[in-house]
Structure 1
Amino acid sequence: MLGRLESLFPPALFVCATAMLGWGTWSHGSRGDLLGVAVLVAYFAWILLEIRITFQSATQETSSGDRGSLQLYGISRMLVLGTLVFLPSAWEDWSALRVLAAVAFVAGVVLRLGSIQQLGRFYSHRVRTVAEHQIIQSGPYRFVRHPSYAGMVLAHLGVVVVFFNPVSPILFVALMVPAIIWRILVEENTLMRLDEYPAYAQGRPRLVPAVW
């Protein structure tokens, strides 16, 4: 029963995100916030580009290796997204800061999708290893161990600024970022069992160069 509920979690997140983004697009569009609409449409396009992985992960065998990190990460992301679309934004203009934040959002998405593509069949939303698992050391993986999560953080930092309100930054810093850090630590607990990973990890930061 628990495994069945876990398998439904990724599709449920997709449905929730789609509903919230639809509402947000209509709401900001009705107020003439074209930049906000563009960012929300881009966010939905991002989700669609990951949809195959999302539903594929739902069919994969669940594992205690996730240690609840997928659920915590997913819920924290939905909470941040919910506050962005349902709470009023402090600004809805084309200020330089807001445009720069939108650019940061796009850059984060590009980094994440590029990192996922670089991993190929070794990528999953679930913590796992596969037969003949290889450690990818090319592309963004030359610089950090988890560039897909670096992209996730950068994208949401950007979108939080685009739709700035008093609540979203708090949830982002206090809940989503710690959830991503926990997720990384859980993944590394599994990856360190691979022969090549400890040597690869040596000298490479996990998420942000010169920080962590």
Structure 2
Amino acid sequence: MMWKQALIILGLFEALFLLLTTISDRIPDAIMLTANVAFASWLFMEVMRVRLGHAPTNSTTHGILSRSFLVISFISVILAFVDRGLNYPFRLPPLPDVPLVTGLLLFTGGVWLRYISIKTLGRFFVTKVQTTNDHQLIKNGVYRVLRHPSYTGLLLGFTGIILMLQSTIALALFLVVGIPAYLYRIRVEETALSRVFGEDYKHYRDETYALIPFIY
């Protein structure tokens, strides 16, 4: 069932991509094709994680809008594909040329960081903000430096794709609406973890950074 749902969502994304190539006068270039392959692969993995990342039925869920950051992120990327595919129809000039390798490095680094973060969390990875009676505070691996490295990975990945597609309007949406959604998710998550772990989490928070080492 999980594979079927993931393939359906992937198929819908590829159908949108084919529609863009059909109605646009612009033939997809190497950047469009590379971004399509990269994002489609990541989209499939993320859908599978959403299906797998569920806490037990006895868990407590926090923040009814805590997954809005993912929705806004995916909408931003789809908008970037539409913007480039239709040759930037929104009366906003495209972003300055960004070497393909720069976007790919950001994207690849983000996907890798998210993978390592989720692997380190193990069975405690969930897509909603949920806590259980046997919840453990993970402090090893990348969590020794960052409290939310998987979100850092998402930010890098989505930014990389948007920069590759040079969409000004998509980047603006991601920065103006998406970033606050990430910060809201972090606030909900840290409030929940503070309730569960008390002073232990306060000390951990004082010794680490939320998203960016030495900055935030």
The TM-score normalised by the length of structure 2 is: 0.78
**CA RMSD for the aligned pairs?**
3.1
Instruction: Provide Cα deviations, 1:9-29, integer angstroms capped at 9, x if missing partner.
Output: xx9999666523443367569
Larger Rg: 2
Partner amino acid, structure 1, of 2:113:
L
The answer as to whether partners of 2:60 and 2:132 remain within 8 angstroms in 1 is no
1:51 to 44, 47, 52: 47
Number of the residue aligned with 2:169:
167
Kindly indicate whether residue 202 of structure 2 is the aligned counterpart of residue 198 of structure 1: yes
Number of the residue aligned with 2:121:
119
For structure 1, which runs of at least 5 residues remain unmatched after alignment?
1-10
How far, CA to CA, are the matches of 1:144 and 1:130 in structure 2? 22
Number of the residue aligned with 1:85:
81
Kindly indicate whether residue 65 of structure 2 is the aligned counterpart of residue 68 of structure 1: yes
Query: How many residues were matched structurally?
Result: 199
1:108 to 107, 110, 115: 110
Taking only the aligned residue pairs, the percentage that are identical comes to 25
Q: Secondary structure at the match of 1:207?
A: coil
| 1:178-193 map, 5 Å | 178-193=180-195
Where do 4+ consecutive residues of structure 1 move more than 4 Å? Answer: 11-18, 25-30, 57-64, 89-92
The answer as to whether partners of 1:118 and 1:139 remain within 8 angstroms in 2 is yes
How far, CA to CA, are the matches of 2:203 and 2:164 in structure 1? 39
Q: Secondary structure at the match of 1:194?
A: helix
Instruction: Provide Cα deviations, 1:164-206, integer angstroms capped at 9, x if missing partner.
Output: 1220111011011111111011111111123332222122111
Number of the residue aligned with 2:157:
155
The answer as to whether partners of 1:84 and 1:160 remain within 8 angstroms in 2 is yes
The TM-score normalised by the length of structure 1 is: 0.79
Number of the residue aligned with 2:17:
24
Please report how far the alpha carbon of residue 155 of structure 1 lies from its aligned counterpart in structure 2 after TM superposition: 0.9
Alpha-carbon distance change, 18 to 178 in structure 1, aligned in 2, over 3 angstroms: farther
For structure 2, which runs of at least 5 residues remain unmatched after alignment?
none
Q: Secondary structure at the match of 1:208?
A: coil
The answer as to whether partners of 2:35 and 2:165 remain within 8 angstroms in 1 is no
Please report how far the alpha carbon of residue 50 of structure 1 lies from its aligned counterpart in structure 2 after TM superposition: 3.1
The answer as to whether partners of 2:66 and 2:129 remain within 8 angstroms in 1 is no
Please report how far the alpha carbon of residue 36 of structure 1 lies from its aligned counterpart in structure 2 after TM superposition: 2.6
Number of the residue aligned with 1:207:
211
Please report how far the alpha carbon of residue 161 of structure 1 lies from its aligned counterpart in structure 2 after TM superposition: 0.6
